[in-house]
Amino acid sequence: MSWRVVVLHACRNMQPSKIPYRSFFRIIILSTTLFTFSIAARDTITPTQPLADNETLVSSDGSFALGFFTPSATASRYVGIWYNKIPSRDIVWVANRGNPVIDSAGQLSVAANGTLIITDQKSTAVVWSAAGDPTAGLVSPVAQLLDNGNFVVKGGDGGNGSYAWQGFDHPTDTLLPGMKLGVDRTTGLNRTLTAWKSKNDPSPGEFYAAVDIRGDPEVYLWAGSNKQWRSGPSVGIGASGSADRGFSVRFVDNDQEVAYSQVVTDKSIVSRVVVNQSGLIQHALWSWETSQWNISWYAPSGKCDAVGECGTYGVCNANDSPALCQCLQGFVPSNQREWDLRNWGDGCVRSTNLTCTNGTTDGFMVVPGVKLPVSSNAVVNMSLSLDECEAKCLKNCSCTAYASANISSADGKGCVMWVEELLDISKVSTSGRNLYVRLSAGDLASGKRKTLWSRASWPLFVATCDLLLVLLTIYLTCVFRRIWNRRRRRRATPYAINFFNEQFDEGGTGNDFDLPILDFATVEAATDYFSTANKLGEGGYGPVYKGVLSDGQEIAVKRLAKTSLQGTEEFKNEVILIAKLQNRNLVRLLGCCIEREERLLIYEYMINKSLDAFLFGKEVPPLDWQTRYRIILGITRGLLYLHHDSRFRIIHRDMKASNILLDKDMNPKISDFGMARILGGDETNINTKKVVGTYGYMSPEYALDGIFSLKSDVYSFGVLVLEIISGKKNRGSSPFSPQLNLVSHAWSLWIERKGLELVDESLNYTVAVKEVLNCIKVGLLCVQERPEDRPLMSSVILMLGSDIATLPEPKQPGFVTRVFPLQVDENVNMHEVYASNHLSASLVGR
């Protein structure tokens, strides 16, 4: 098995303004602590210096203390570790859990062979001992309490850095950062968390958390032999539905180990995961400000957390409460009566049995955003891609479902296949995954999403193709006849070419471009007479259609509205501009067409349409971070080309998500140059009375004063970057406060150092944290209020590749908001709206 690591969540929660003040105080406290203990406290014991009942070890930085303690209401003495700086002295680890010393004559010592021993000095009985690794070959062993709370036995000669024994290998009920929950595959050591029996009894209780390493590993919480909760495969504790901060959850699955752990980089953050006596697993962060533990997440907490609530093939959705359970599509309750009574445990059965013989027509239906089913018997294969996974699952009749093994594995590979009935699927708000469930063709057909024809369905396929071929022939015959008729009628006037020469010569730019001119009939035929079925969307200047030329090339046709006021001007503009621009991140103009009233632009067809559908659309699967990042880089390159690298300096003036088209590999291409302007000579900005652009993307100086420059595009680009990261529109990003748009929201999160909260929830925290933070910072630099503060695209491209620490700190962003609401279609460009409502716009953000 190749190895996988998931970093599920990382954030900082320190408020910048408060750091100096607080650290100052802490330094004072720390120095007094150190001073107090510098006489008495040590952090090691040796064979000649054991620890008596009334003594305490304190780790060198004062974070943890180790000594004898008595739980309230008893006289029993236990050796434990607690937070030295936290007044409540919460015990994080206990040595002799079940074997207390019953008087205060206990002693903790380390024997010459490295064995830790707790003895009762009065009775000289050994109550607890822990033998170190005999192969470690210790020389004069010492036991030391480390700064992370680990109590270790090592060689006194400095050793070779390894420990003969360590407390972190034997967790009690608390997982500290750096500790692991899981199994060491080489030694077989299984690290679990077991709750105290009761508040006064640290001996192991019935509740415990452990990793099930079978199939696709996940954490289970048990009450004796009953499963209380499961994390879902490859999902860390606290990652699901939590709003944890200041730490990340790490999951490792490789040849050596399967382990969950917390990683805390900021030493001031005190984080712990505890299985408590009520049978809950919880994550808590210590607040230095309020001096209390904040429980940031716990489980089981939701109605769907009980394992198998909805039975096999049932899906639990807490939002549907009280009718929690639904059968997966293609399944029906196995016992309708019980189901109606809300006893869902019997689960669901298939409405149509799978064929799974030769001639099978089974396929898969995607169930998005779920906690994957119990996977202890699932088969994991990290070398298969999702497509290969699908093919493999389809071939094996016992395969009921598949999923990608790991949402963030580096090469995108990894496959889990279920070979039994699917149990315990639930909808989750964060860290949900896509599950592909096998269905028979009939049940699939009534489904919404992905259908798949197996290779075995050739006869049907061939029959369908034959039929299509016949239809196509009939269709083409009709089309050609029509074209032929039209040609005959129009042969006299080479309409388009005349028009072009005239228009462009008049424009003063010459006609030194080499652009094919198509005739209207050809375009008509290609778009099936501009049929509604072929309509891709409606832009500011008219509808866009998909078409196929007779040679099979797919095209997108923009048909400028006849009523469009600026039509001709923009048309000319766009044609001249794009014809001369060549960049892989700009959409390519293939040709144009002008006949009488009609003005058409013919572009290469982008199979994935525009970015806004992916960011804001509900239908499409969300983009992963790598794709988003590539899109940001691509747009940057395209804009860099427009601004600096092409023959002209071009301001696009209408950068927005719907003007970014995506090709089949999800490469972004900037489109729609209808409003673009060329900067002449040494012009840096242009002042215009007519403000055009799209609300939400317009820089304040442009919206208010009509001044646009390269920096206005940079502003729109910044908004776009924030939208790509958050998956939210700049406008309407906060339903609670319409005044608060995405830019200001991003800014407030940023200054509170909560930048990662901006990230689209559908990414489930599977992001490259550094890249994300860097992009947010660049986005914010681009939307700064003063144009002169905003970077040029030539700097932006460098910034995206550089270290976040080297970037300047962004200043207050500027943005325009409407004082009173105005109903406008988002996609409509805002000429008149802004010109006439000049006074209704105001600057916000001070």
Ligand X SMILES: *[C@@H]1O[C@H](CO)[C@@H](O)[C@H](O)[C@H]1NC(C)=O
Q: Which residues are catalytic?
A: 654
The DSSP symbol for 106 reads E
Query: CA-based angle 471:477:481, to the nearest 5?
Result: 150
* C-beta closer to ligand X: residue 162 or 292: 292
Q: Could you say whether residue 282 binds ligand X (CB under 6 A)?
A: yes
* Shortest Å, Cβ 295 to ligand X: 4
Query: What is the DSSP secondary-structure string of 416-478?
Result: EEE-S--B-EEE-SSS-EEEEEEE-HHHHHTSSS-----TT-HHHHHHHHHHHHHHHHHHHHH
Q: Contacting ligand X (CB under 6 A), which of 160, 278, 290, 836?
A: 278
Residue 454 as a binder of ligand X (CB under 6 A): the answer is no
Q: Can you list the alpha helix ranges (DSSP code H) found in 617-741?
A: 625-640, 700-705, 710-726
Kindly tell me the burial class for residue 635, based on how many C-beta atoms sit within 10 Å of its own C-beta (0-12, 13-18, 19 or more): buried
Contacting range for ligand X; rule: CB under 6 A; set: 30-38, 277-285, 359-367, 547-555? 277-285
Dist. CA 57–CA 382, nearest whole Å:
46
CB of 413 to ligand X, least distance (A): 18
CB of 398 to ligand X, least distance (A): 5
Pick the closest to residue 832 from 693, 701, 739 (CA basis): 693
CB of 402 to ligand X, least distance (A): 11
Strand partners, 599: 594
Is the CB of 59 or the CB of 194 nearer to ligand X? 194
Q: Is 394 helix (H, G, I), strand (E, B) or coil?
A: helix
* Coil, helix or strand at residue 810: coil
Classified as helix, coil or strand, 50 is: coil
Tokens of 835: 């010109």
> Which is closer to ligand X, CB of 303 or CB of 486?
303
Q: Are 520 and 593 in contact (CB under 8 A)?
A: yes
Residue with Cβ nearer ligand X (277 or 352): 277
Do you know the residue count of the chain? 846
User: Rounded to whole angstroms, what are the CA distances from 132 to 82, 106, 152, 158, 508?
Assistant: 23, 21, 10, 16, 88
- Shortest distance, CB of residue 377 to ligand X, whole angstroms? 8
| E-only strand ranges, 567-676 | 589-595, 598-604, 649-651, 660-662, 668-670
Of positions 104, 276, 608, 837, contacts ligand X by CB under 6 A: 276
Phi, psi of 486 (to 5 degrees): -65, -45
In the complex, least distance from residue 299 CB atom to ligand X, rounded to whole angstroms: 9
Candidates 79, 239, 280, 589: give the one binding ligand X (CB under 6 A): 280
Angle at 355 between CA 349 and CA 358, to 5 degrees: 165
| Both structure tokens of 313 | 């093939």
- In whole angstroms, the minimum distance from the beta carbon of 280 to ligand X comes to 4
Instruction: Report, in Å, the least distance between residue 261 CB and ligand X.
Output: 21
Q: 129 vs 385, which CB is nearer to ligand X?
A: 385
> In this structure, is the dihedral angle defined by the CA atoms of residues 253, 254, 259 and 263, taken in order, positive or negative?
negative
CA 10 – CA 378 distance, rounded (Å):
29
As measured in angstroms, the least distance from the Cβ of 254 to ligand X is 21
State the distance between the two ends of the chain, measured CA to CA, in whole angstroms: 55
Nearest CA to 539 among 566, 577, 503, 572? 566
What residues between 367 and 406 interact with ligand X by CB under 6 A? 379, 396, 398
Distances from the Cα of 555 to the Cαs of 196, 293, 597, 759, in angstroms?
A: 68, 60, 21, 34
Comparison of 448 and 455: residue with beta carbon closer to ligand X: 455
User: Nearer Cβ to ligand X, position 276 or 646?
Assistant: 276
Nearer to ligand X, 284 or 722 (CB): 284
- Count of residues interacting with ligand X (CB under 6 A): 11
Cross-strand partners of 309: none
Nearest one of 394, 3, 392, 391 to 217, comparing CA atoms: 3
In terms of CB distance, is 419 or 769 closer to ligand X? 419
Question: In whole angstroms, what is the distance from residue 755 CA to residue 827 CA?
Answer: 29
The region of 19-27, 75-83, 272-280, 812-820 touching ligand X under the rule CB under 6 A is 272-280
Q: 295 — phi, psi (to 5°)?
A: -80, 110
Contacts with 528 (C-beta within 8 Å, 6 or more apart), sequence order: 534, 547
Q: How far is CA 830 from CA 16, 46, 654, 675, 693, in A?
A: 39, 78, 10, 11, 6
Which residue, 226 or 398, is less far from ligand X as judged by CB? 398
Give whichever of 298 and 629 is closer to ligand X, judged by the CB atom. 298
Given 82, 151, 260, 298, the residue binding ligand X (CB under 6 A): 298
Do 815 and 715 touch, CB atoms closer than 8 A? no
* Tokens 């007479």 belong to residue: 529
The DSSP code for 373 is P
201-212 and 218-223 strand pairing:
antiparallel
Looking at beta carbons only, is 199 or 481 nearer to ligand X? 199
Query: Contact, 605 vs 671, CB < 8 A?
Result: no
Nearest distance from C-beta of residue 1 to ligand X, angstroms:
15
Residue 295 engages ligand X in binding (rule: CB under 6 A): yes
Judged by beta carbon, residue 131 or residue 379, the one nearer ligand X is 379
Query: What does DSSP say about strands 281-287 and 271-275: parallel, antiparallel, or unpaired?
Result: antiparallel
Tell the smallest beta-carbon distance from residue 424 to ligand X (Å): 20
Nearest approach in angstroms of CB 152 to ligand X is 29
| 6 within 8 A of 251, measured Cβ to Cβ | yes
Closest contact distance (angstroms) between CB of 93 and ligand X is: 17
Of positions 223, 419, 483, 751, contacts ligand X by CB under 6 A: 419
User: What span, in angstroms and rounded, lies between the C-alpha atoms of 750 and 742?
Assistant: 12
Spell out, one character per residue from 330 to 369, where the chain touches ligand X: x when CB under 6 A holds, - when not: ----------------------------------------
The residues binding ligand X (CB under 6 A) are 276-278, 280, 282, 295, 298, 379, 396, 398, 419
